[in-house]
Amino acid sequence: MKNLHFKQLIIAGLVLVLAACGSTPQPTVALNTNALTNKALKIGIVYNEPDDKATTHIFGAGCLLCYGVASTLTNKLDTHLENTIDTSELISLKELVLSEYSQRSNSVEFVTLTTPIKKLKKFKGELGFAKKDFRVLKETLAVDVIVVFDVYRYGAFRSFSNYIPNGDPQGHIAGLLYAIDLNTNAYIQYLAIDEKIQPSGEWDEAPAFPSVTTSYYQAVENAKQKIKDAI
Amino acid sequence: MIMMKLILIIFALLLVGCGSTPYRDDYAKHVNLMKNSYFNESNFKFSFVENPHVDLRGQYSRNDTANASPILYQGGAGLAGLLVQIGTHSTMVSAQRNEKLAIAQEQANQPILPLINITKDIALVDLIGEHKSQWTSLETIDAKIVRIKPIFFSNKDMTELSIKAIVWLPKQHKNSRKKQKFNYKNMIHIYGEKLNKLQQQKLIAGDEEFLTLQLAALLKTAISIAKDDLTGRYAKNKTRTKTFFIDNGSGKKVIRGAVVAEKCGYKVIQDLHSWFIALPLLKTKTSIETDAVYQC
């Protein structure tokens, strides 16, 4: 009997863990223009640049050895991307977010957080609300709306099926743009950016990799267009 | 550890070959070993090889990424067995990628079949106008004659015509030990001006004369650009690399490169591949100061 209770406890624990893992991801939230009708609203923009330099992001290499092989295959491209793709295009994206939001408010500026987002308190809300409690920033930053532009991958993307590449490396940029009403902690906007552009023609032309490099710039332009359309 | 490194190297070598892009004939890797042996105006001669008639194709997406094909490798056969399994898997993926491209090309050709049928018997030499004096027939071709392979494209709406011309010059000494087979190889890609409604109707109605004029204008501009480069006109270009855009119907297509000339209503850009991309001047969204060659 004792043994049965223990098993039930383990199963209940597992169910709870898996339920949390399987939570519904936040869907896109189109910009709520009603929330920005007052041009006197103060908007603060936080820009989080990627931790790493431009590189090839590998997906689908499902084992350690597969990943090792995949990394070896993309080694030369990684070196090229690291050496030639700087953050200037990311900065132009960041400036674009500022200029687009400037059409919505007379007071838009970049702000710096004193506490990293991941260290903010959790917020228990439904879909449509941020998972961290941003409301505390209303006082500390003296803004009404916080916009977070987070770029977390740039360079190239290559899909693998274990050891085998499924396709060519593609120009890639991925990030997240969201805006939060600091009175309610609700999303005013939530937009995932995930651009993957197929190089036109042969990709494996070391050392300059012109096709992949061009497709990276295409990915950036597509991301710019997406941001313009969304704001 | 050494064993692990060895396995990684073997896998990598195996897969470098397996994972390469399928062959496409509308593509050229740039080679220029001309140094001081550029042509002058009078000795530039060219010929059309492979197909003396118009080759018109539908524009299609080049994304050949195959769907993921999860596979469980059997470990019982040892390392050799594993390599065979990976080789087989790789061949399957490669075949999928080639098939995807072939299907995409076939589907893209369907809407423009009437144009393909009109153009397939048009001789390229009938389109080159004033360049005919520089043209040489296939019978008299030698290593000093520039080879041109033009491929024309149309979008499915028949509003945009373009040309990709592969231009090359073989190495004169065939016994050269070096792998390089070319003295010069490059691609010229010209985007025609977008056709208006009336012009589009002419194409849909099968107006051969109008279509021939459009194709001739593209081919003559391609020959002119090839000649400019092979006579060394673009060799000293020092303009800054920038991003240019072209509206391809489904959005802005990016071209990274530097302007080398403005001629015949086109801005000629040398891109990161060193290809020459000619955009109609009205279509070019970015304008920069340039020491480009202005002529026609």
> Is residue A203 within 8 angstroms of chain B, CB to CB?
yes
In a domain, A180, yes or no: yes
> Is residue A65 within 8 angstroms of chain B, CB to CB?
yes
3-state secondary structure at position B271 = strand
DSSP run (H or E) holding B252? strand B252-263
Query: Is there a contact between A112 and A137 (Cβ–Cβ < 8 Å)?
Result: no
Q: How far is A104 from chain B (nearest CA, A)?
A: 25
In a domain, A221, yes or no: yes
Q: How far is B247 from chain A (nearest CA, A)?
A: 12
> Is residue B16 within 8 angstroms of chain A, CB to CB?
yes
Q: Which domain holds residue A99?
A: 29-230
In a domain, A4, yes or no: no
Number of domains in chain A: 1
Bridge partners of A160? Answer: A165
Bridge partners of B283? Answer: none
- Chain A residues whose beta carbon lies within 8 Å of the beta carbon of residue B29: 202, 205
Interface test with B, best of A77, A93, A158, A164 (most B CBs within 10 A): A164
Q: Where are the alpha helices (DSSP H) in chain B?
A: 2-18, 78-109, 113-119, 197-204, 208-230
Residue, of B5 and B211, whose pLDDT is higher: B211
pLDDT tier for residue B147 given thresholds of 50, 70 and 90: very high
Query: Residue range A132-160: average pLDDT?
Result: 95
Contact between chains at A210 and B65 (C-beta distance less than 8 A): no
Q: How far is B94 from chain A (nearest CA, A)?
A: 8
Report how far apart, in Å, the C-alpha atoms of B186 and of each of B44, B150, B167, B180 are.
16, 12, 5, 14
Of residues A164, A199, A205, nearest to B93 (C-beta): A164
> Is residue B60 within 8 angstroms of chain A, CB to CB?
no
In a domain, A55, yes or no: yes
- Chain A residues whose beta carbon lies within 8 Å of the beta carbon of residue B245: 221
Give the C-alpha separation, A191 to A178, whole Å: 6
Q: Who's near B201: CB < 8 A, 6+ residues apart?
A: none
What pLDDT was estimated at residue B69?
A: 61
In a domain, A15, yes or no: no
Q: How far is B25 from chain A (nearest CA, A)?
A: 9
Contact between chains at B64 and A167 (C-beta distance less than 8 A): yes
Give the C-alpha separation, B50 to B53, whole Å: 9
> Is residue B84 within 8 angstroms of chain A, CB to CB?
no
- Please report the ipTM that was assigned to this predicted complex: 0.76
Q: What does the radius of gyration of chain B's CA atoms come to, in whole angstroms?
A: 22
Structure tokens at B179: 């792998």
- Chain A residues whose beta carbon lies within 8 Å of the beta carbon of residue B186: none
Residue A73 is part of a domain; what is its CATH number? 3.40.50
Per residue in B258-277, is it b (16+ CB within 10 Å) or e — as a string?
bbbbbbbebbbbbbbbbbbb
In a domain, A20, yes or no: no
pLDDT (tens digit per residue) in B48-86: 987 899 999 998 766 565 666 666 666 666 777 777 777
Structure tokens at A120: 């903010």
pLDDT (tens digit per residue) in A182-222: 999 999 999 999 999 988 878 889 899 999 999 999 999 99
Of residues B7, B93, B254, nearest to A218 (C-beta): B254
Residue type, B27: Y
In a domain, A5, yes or no: no
> What is the pTM assigned to this prediction?
0.78
pLDDT at A120 over 90: yes
- Chain A residues whose beta carbon lies within 8 Å of the beta carbon of residue B89: 161-164
